[in-house]
Amino acid sequence: MFDLRPQRLIVFHGAGGVRRQGRGDAPDHPPAPVVLAALDEAKNAWVGGGDRRVFSVGAGASAPVQAFPRECFDLTTDGNRLIGTLVDDALKLTTLFVTDGSGQRWEPMTLPKPVRAMHGHGYCEGLPLPQSPDGAFFDTSPFGITVLEKGRGRVYVLRPGAAQPEGALEVEPGHEQDTWRAQATPHGVLLLLVSNHRETALVHFSLDGTLLGAIDGSEEDEDEPLWGGTGVCVLDAARALLFLQDKTLLVSLPGLQVLETLVGEWNTSVSVTPAGPDRWWVGPEDSDALFLLTARPGHPLRLHAEKRPVSPGAPLMHMGYKTPAIHWTEHTSAPVTVSAPVAETWRAVVRNDGTACDAVRVRVSGPLVGARVVDVSVRYRGQPLPMVSENRVNVVGDTAGLEAGATAELEVTFKPRSEGSGQLDITVEPRSWRYLGDGEPRFLAVEGHPASAQFLLTVE
């Protein structure tokens, strides 16, 4: 089971996997990973919607979702208990809480005062710290749980079974375009810092702020700095893995000396979880791929691609819409046959399940339209809709917008001119006014979720 992109959950069990995704529009602020915590070998998995709403997906991660009893930003497990983060309206961490699997009884934890630390890989060392809170995210290792506030430059370390965090560090905050990861080690905390999506540094601190080790590529070759960090994993008390876009480095703890390099591409962020003694599952973000990494002490790293099919499962939950969302309430994708000289009409009904749009565009496209095998006419809400040619293979027509919750009838009539067969696409697009800037004319652009239907059209 892996933390993948927001609103997405993949559970691998046995020879295959099941993918479940959320519906609707993602929230504006950075969402929590979709897989937040799992108890009892995923018999009860908690997932987050990105807006501090958390749900249980039940046995085998396949049951209908049920709301978690309390709002939280992120959630993880520590043995048989759940640990959660609470943030305020500004997305600043306010407290950690601990509860059992039911989530009914809450016990807050005391947060320690962070110790100042310097890593030398920021934008403005020595200057006042600009802060831009973006939530508080968990990560886990064999040596505890980290709570990371990139936007405030803070990281807390909670040891397994502890009643409160052992300590905390404060470094220069990260910027919006930066990616940070943090994992607990026996000596303190390991920080992966990726600036501007490229420049990468791995630093190791004790919890009193002492820098125990750092690696950014200068130790190997000053002309080839590390770049494109995608993940980090503490293997044991003496070793950690650093995933980069073009390789994987095995480094020592606490000093971060490079022990081994494994060539391979990790173009997106990766998630790592234990798979048994000296073995770990590795899952790239936004992908169904699964890899088994073997890292036995004294032996070379081995990476094996697991070819396990992933099938779609039931939707996770609906997050609501913040943009227009046009859906069919009545339509068919069955083949349509037109026999001259009789015209045929395809009928459907759409509904706007999202916010109101300023205009609607109906688009009919396909090779038979471009070749003038058929003439296309459209009626929308009972009125003829003027259609014009676009890019030789489309005809489009624009009409007034559709209010939230409103429906509209659509009729598309095909009058034969010749003979042929091919796929036809009918799309109903919500459009809204856009502005480039002062003094620039406004224009209509597609915004939100269009409805689209495809079927085979045959003209005899």
Task: Identify whether residues 54 and 184 lie together within a single domain.
Answer: yes
Task: Identify whether residues 138 and 266 lie together within a single domain.
Answer: yes
The residue out of 312, 345, 368 marking a domain boundary is 312
Cα distance between residue 191 and residue 168, in whole Å: 13
Task: Identify whether residues 146 and 73 lie together within a single domain.
Answer: yes
Output 258 or 195, whichever has higher pLDDT: 258
Task: Identify whether residues 273 and 411 lie together within a single domain.
Answer: no
| Residue reference for tokens 């993940």 | 231
Task: Identify whether residues 307 and 372 lie together within a single domain.
Answer: no
Model pLDDT, residue 224: 61
User: Dihedral (C-alpha) 289, 11, 99, 56: value to the nearest 10 degrees?
Assistant: 130
Model pLDDT, residue 145: 94
**What single-letter DSSP state applies at residue 23?**
B
- Mean pLDDT of all residues in 199-204: 91
What is the bridge-based pairing of β-strands 16-21 and 310-312?
A: parallel
51 pLDDT higher than 70: no
151 pLDDT higher than 70: yes
7 pLDDT higher than 70: no
- Mean pLDDT of all residues in 282-300: 82
Task: Identify whether residues 295 and 221 lie together within a single domain.
Answer: yes
The tokens for 104 are 């009914």
Output 293 or 407, whichever has higher pLDDT: 407
Model pLDDT, residue 288: 72
Model pLDDT, residue 363: 95
404 pLDDT higher than 80: yes
Model pLDDT, residue 315: 74
Model pLDDT, residue 220: 47
Within-domain flag for 320: no
Model pLDDT, residue 134: 86
Within-domain flag for 2: no
Task: Identify whether residues 336 and 242 lie together within a single domain.
Answer: no
- Mean pLDDT of all residues in 163-178: 90
Write out pLDDT tens, residues 233-246. Answer: 999 999 999 999 88
Q: Which residue(s) pair with 231 in the sheet?
A: 243
How many structural domains is the chain composed of? Answer: 2
The residue out of 253, 278, 312 marking a domain boundary is 312
CA within 13 Å, CB half, 57: 30
Q: Which of 199-203, 358-362, 426-430 shows the lowest per-residue confidence on average (mean pLDDT)? A: 199-203
The residue out of 312, 336, 358 marking a domain boundary is 312
Cα distance between residue 368 and residue 141, in whole Å: 59
The CATH number of the domain holding residue 182 is 2.130.10.10
The CATH number of the domain holding residue 415 is 2.60.40.3260
| Residue reference for tokens 């939230």 | 404
Within-domain flag for 95: yes
298 pLDDT higher than 80: yes
Identity of the residue numbered 16: G
Model pLDDT, residue 2: 43
Cα distance between residue 5 and residue 387, in whole Å: 40
31 pLDDT higher than 50: no
**What single-letter DSSP state applies at residue 268?**
S
108 pLDDT higher than 90: yes
Within-domain flag for 54: yes
- Mean pLDDT of all residues in 374-390: 93
Q: Are 315 and 328 in contact (CB under 8 A)?
A: no
250 confidence band (pLDDT: 50, 70, 90):
very high
Task: Identify whether residues 284 and 382 lie together within a single domain.
Answer: no
Output 267 or 239, whichever has higher pLDDT: 239
Task: Identify whether residues 283 and 392 lie together within a single domain.
Answer: no
- Mean pLDDT of all residues in 47-65: 60
5 pLDDT higher than 50: no
Within-domain flag for 77: yes
Write phi, then psi, for 190 (nearest 5 degrees): -105, 125
174 pLDDT higher than 80: yes
Neighbours of 236 (CB within 10 A): 15
Domain of 411, in residue numbers: 326-459
Predicted TM-score of the model (pTM): 0.71
Task: Identify whether residues 48 and 22 lie together within a single domain.
Answer: yes
Task: Identify whether residues 99 and 128 lie together within a single domain.
Answer: yes
- Mean pLDDT of all residues in 57-86: 75
| Residue reference for tokens 């979702």 | 65
**In percent, how much of the chain has pLDDT > 70?**
83
CA 419-420-425 angle, 5° bins: 125
User: Dihedral (C-alpha) 57, 60, 64, 70: value to the nearest 10 degrees?
Assistant: -20
Model pLDDT, residue 443: 86
Write out pLDDT tens, residues 321-349. Answer: 889 999 999 999 999 999 988 899 999 99
Task: Identify whether residues 19 and 67 lie together within a single domain.
Answer: yes
Within-domain flag for 1: no
- Mean pLDDT of all residues in 144-173: 94
Q: Which residue(s) pair with 13 in the sheet?
A: 16
Within-domain flag for 183: yes
Q: Which of 196-200, 235-239, 254-258 shows the lowest per-residue confidence on average (mean pLDDT)? A: 196-200
Within-domain flag for 125: yes
Output 97 or 62, whichever has higher pLDDT: 97
